Amino acid sequence: MSEPIHVPVILGPTGVGKTGLALELAGRFGMEIVSCDSRQVYRGMDIGTAKPTPAQQARARHWLIDILEPSESYSAFRYARDAREVIVRRAAAGVPVALCGGTGLYFRSLSRGLTTMVASNPELRKRLERRAEAEGPGILHEELARVDPASARRLHPNDRQRIVRALQVFYDSGIPLSAHVDGPEGPVDMHFAIIILSRPREDLYARINRRVRHMIELGLWREHKALIDKGFGREDPGMRCVGYRELFDVAEGKTSLETAIGRIQQNTRRYAKRQKTWFAHQCDGHVLDMAGSNVLSRAAELVGRHLGA
């Protein structure tokens, strides 16, 4: 396409209020929404991922949600490819789209391309080393074959050190090691206007705690049980998400639902803190405090200016 595609981007930590603002902006500017969320890609995981409801999806068409089973792996590399395809196709049809989500690595892979640099994670590496010792490197090699077939083909099943490193890269970044090596450059035909939503910590954490309780009221425990009944387990990529992994101990009679709720709240708060840190250091955008005034009008001004509306 001869003209660059202008894409508004709404990022922020979980629970900050991204979906509501994105829907208001989508209605105002006739936009569709491309999800930028590593958990909402999974079918059957609606409540625990705070996926847009059917009513919300009726207000604006959503892309890149419900595209995988919880047993399937997804990565920033695949996201960049899939999101780019949607954006280009809808632009060709004359339909503007906005990105909305909290997975910063996915947005970076789309906007900048993939990086070969992944920081060391000693805790994760130790866990993988212990598993290799207890289960044998062959088991980890089989696991690598599921999430990064190209690296698995390159490595001998007994090459424990390199298998552990490849798994660490994948679980740290969501990108297979092979994609880090071979990844594309960022798109040169897209211009992004980045809006980063924030809230004071106490406000955000209180919202998270309430939302987890609301998820339980909506049926998160039943949703989790339904997924188990379909054969999905602890090791499936989707089921390792916060809000689902904590409930396995309840299903196995190891802890109470109330204890699991507390763990979900705590882990979600920790996740939000990591997201805020990521956006502060990795994204250069307009920060809007959702606890402030005139947030919608300020966001609409930024989006309208970017789209030339």
DSSP output for 140-183: HHHHHHHH-HHHHHHS-TT-HHHHHHHHHHHHHHSS-HHHHHHP
| pLDDT-based confidence at residue 161 (cuts at 50, 70, 90) | confident
Instruction: Please tell me the distance from the alpha carbon of residue 45 to that of residue 220, in angstroms, as a whole number.
Output: 9
Dihedrals phi, psi of 247, to nearest 5 degrees: -85, -10
Q: Give pLDDT, residue 20.
A: 97
Q: Are 25 and 98 in contact (CB under 8 A)?
A: yes
Of 210, 197, 194, 193, whose CA–CA distance to 17 is shortest?
197
pLDDT at residue 185, rounded to an integer: 46
Q: Give the pLDDT score at 68.
A: 96
As a whole number, mean pLDDT of residues 88-112 equals 94
CATH classification at residue 250? 3.40.50.300
Q: Would you place residue 180 in the very low, low, confident or very high pLDDT band (cuts 50, 70, 90)?
A: low
Residues 144 and 195 in one domain: no
Claim to verify: residue 89 and residue 228 sit in the same structural domain: yes
Considering the domain architecture, whether residues 130 and 217 belong to the same structural domain is answered as: no
The H-or-E segment that residue 100 falls in is strand 97-101
Write out pLDDT tens, residues 112-148. 875 544 555 677 888 898 998 899 889 999 999 998 8
Q: How far is 133 from 251, CA to CA, in rounded Å? A: 28
Report whether pLDDT(291) > 50. yes
Do 259 and 276 have their domain in common?
yes
Distance, in Å, from the CA atom of 117 to the CA atom of 112, rounded to the nearest integer, reads 13
Q: Which domain holds residue 98?
A: 5-114+183-307
Q: At residue 247, does pLDDT exceed 50?
A: yes
Rg, the chain, Cα only: 20
Instruction: Say whether both 105 and 245 belong to one domain.
Output: yes
Q: Which of 182, 205, 234 represents a domain boundary (last residue)? A: 182
- Answer for the pair 20, 295: CB distance below 8 angstroms, yes or no: no
201 and 276, same domain (yes or no):
yes
pLDDT at 73 over 70: yes
Whether residue 133 is found in the same domain as residue 100: no
Q: Per-residue pLDDT averaged across 251-268, rounded?
A: 97
Task: Name the least confident of 27-41, 123-137, 194-208, 246-260.
Answer: 123-137
Residues of the chain with pLDDT > 90: what percent?
Answer: 70
Gap between the Cα atoms of 83 and 190, Å rounded? 12
pLDDT at 84: 93
Query: Are residues 161 and 189 located together in one domain of the fold?
Result: no
Give the whole-angstrom CA distance, residue 163 versus residue 128: 9
pLDDT at 165: 85
Q: Please tell me whether residues 131 and 19 are part of one structural domain.
A: no
Question: pLDDT at position 287, please?
Answer: 96
Per mean pLDDT, which of 130-134, 166-170, 204-208 is the most reliable? 204-208
**Per-residue confidence (pLDDT) for residue 124, from 0 to 100:** 83
Instruction: Give the CATH number of the domain where residue 160 resides.
Output: 1.10.20.140
H helix or E strand, kind and range, residue 35: strand 32-35
Overall size of the chain counted in residues? 309
Contacts of 130 (CB under 8 A, 6+ apart): none
Residue 170 has pLDDT above 90, yes or no: no
Q: Is the pLDDT of residue 250 over 80?
A: yes
CA distance 39 to 162: 28
Rounded to an integer, the average pLDDT of 271-280 is 94
Question: Rounded mean pLDDT of 20-47?
Answer: 97
Distance CA 194, CA 198 (A): 13
- Write b or e for each residue in 121-154: b if 16 or more Cβ atoms lie within 10 A of its Cβ, otherwise e: eeeeeeebeebbeeeebeebbebbbebbebbbee
Q: Please identify, among 131, 163, 182, the residue that sits at the C-terminal boundary of a domain.
A: 182
Residues 187-201: tens digit of each pLDDT: 448 999 999 999 999
Strand partners, 83: none
- The DSSP symbol for 119 reads -
pLDDT at position 168: 85
One domain for residues 35 and 156: no
Closest-CA residue to 139 (of 158, 155, 126, 153) = 158
Q: What is the average pLDDT across 94-113?
A: 92
Average pLDDT, the chain: 91
Question: Is residue 198 domain-shared with residue 258, that is, in the same domain?
Answer: yes
Number of domains in the chain: 2
Q: Which pLDDT does position 184 carry in this prediction?
A: 45
Residues 206 and 87 reside in one and the same domain: yes
Phi-psi region of 185 (alpha: psi -120 to 50; beta: other; left: phi over 0): beta
Beta bridge partners of 7: 192
CA 185, 172, 196, 41 dihedral sign is positive
